[in-house]
Amino acid sequence: MVEILVRAIITGLVCLVLMAQAAHAADQRIIVQPIVNSSGDDHLDPLSAGFSDLLVAYLSGYEQLEILYRDDMHRIWQELAQSRSGLQRTDAMRIGALVQANTLIKGGFVKTNGKFQANVHIYDIATTRLQYSLEENGVIENVDTLAASMAQRIANKLLHHSDTTTPVSVDMQPLVNTHFMKGLGYHHSGLYDHAVAEFMQVIDLDPSRADARLWLGKSYAAGGEPDHARIELERFLAEFPDHDDANRAKQDLESLSGT
């Protein structure tokens, strides 16, 4: 099984290398390992993908930095993580070298007494040496701002700027992710009306966001509005019947049956 997975990964990496050869020149080529939920709270797992996406989106706004094929890299991380107890640093370094990256970024986050704390570690791939460790702290509702600040600090370190590095404009996806992250933050803070408003913003901007539809239903349910929750969860199942969280949504609907 492992051999099959390795062959599949190598095949994907060959494609990535060919793409890398055609990529534009940049001061730094970076791969970002998904930021790990180290809080021990499974309910915060969505923040792992969300914070990682935000960090990558903000880093992509710096024209001197090139984020290497983040969707493909994220898939590779997931495959490796599912096949083992976890992604080893040697795996990350080997992949980084193959795709001609300079820098690997990995990290995690915790939530303590309502505070969100994210840590990232920046490695030089050629030497495997840890170059920098950075930390951001704040309330979970402002996690999008924390991601932007972290990206700016990373860019300043990698580009050797002591002052503020100005990013170029980025696409709409960070805005969508920002609303989603705020929604999660409000939900986990018990501010369900605020969460509903944020998830509705996500759906207005990107109707294909299944996760926003699911969490909209969950926020309605947690906020004591079971009728609205049923509507959103049933719509989620109708529009995304094969989603990984379909069974989870069915369980949520069943829990609402007595309300």
* CATH label of the domain that carries residue 109: 3.40.50.10070
Residue 167 within a domain:
no
Q: 64 near 45, Cβ under 8 Å?
A: no
- Which of 132, 158, 184 is the C-terminal boundary of a domain? 158
| pLDDT at residue 89, rounded to an integer | 56
| pLDDT at residue 147, rounded to an integer | 85
The structure tokens 């290398």 sit at: 17
| pLDDT at residue 116, rounded to an integer | 85
- Which of 113, 133, 158 is the C-terminal boundary of a domain? 158
| pLDDT at residue 169, rounded to an integer | 47
Residues 13, 98 within the same domain: yes
Q: 174 near 147, Cβ under 8 Å?
A: no
Residues 63, 115 within the same domain: yes
Residues 86, 149 within the same domain: yes
- Which of 101, 126, 158 is the C-terminal boundary of a domain? 158
Token pair belonging to 128: 């495997």
Residues 112, 183 within the same domain: no
Residue 178 within a domain:
yes
State the total domains in the chain. Answer: 2
Mark out the alpha helices in the chain (DSSP H runs): 2-22, 45-59, 70-83, 89-98, 143-158, 173-188, 192-205, 210-222, 226-239, 246-256
| pLDDT at residue 29, rounded to an integer | 83
| pLDDT at residue 234, rounded to an integer | 95
| pLDDT at residue 231, rounded to an integer | 94
| pLDDT at residue 74, rounded to an integer | 54
| pLDDT at residue 119, rounded to an integer | 95
Residue 99 within a domain:
yes
Sign of CA dihedral 147, 160, 168, 17: negative
Residues 193, 250 within the same domain: yes
Residues 73, 104 within the same domain: yes
Residues 56, 81 within the same domain: yes
Residue 164 within a domain:
no
Distance (Å, rounded) from C-alpha 156 to C-alpha 232?
43
Token pair belonging to 187: 């939900």
| pLDDT at residue 237, rounded to an integer | 95
Residues 83, 109 within the same domain: yes
Distance (Å, rounded) from C-alpha 104 to C-alpha 96?
7
pTM of the complete model beyond 0.95? no
Residues 116, 154 within the same domain: yes
Residues 15, 75 within the same domain: yes
Domain CATH number, residue 249: 1.25.40.10
| pLDDT at residue 63, rounded to an integer | 79
| pLDDT at residue 128, rounded to an integer | 84
Residue 149 within a domain:
yes
90-129 burial, b if ≥16 CB within 10 A, otherwise e? ebbbebbebbebbbbbbbbbbbeeeebbbbbbbbebeeee
Residue 75 within a domain:
yes
Residue 224 within a domain:
yes
Full residue range of the structural domain in which residue 195 is found: 173-256
Residues 128, 234 within the same domain: no
Residues 122, 183 within the same domain: no
Distance (Å, rounded) from C-alpha 196 to C-alpha 201?
9
| pLDDT at residue 183, rounded to an integer | 82
Per-block mean pLDDT, blocks of 10 residues, the chain (259 long): 45 44 59 85 76 80 74 54 52 63 89 85 89 90 81 90 54 69 76 90 90 93 94 94 88 82
Residue 225 within a domain:
yes
| pLDDT at residue 122, rounded to an integer | 94
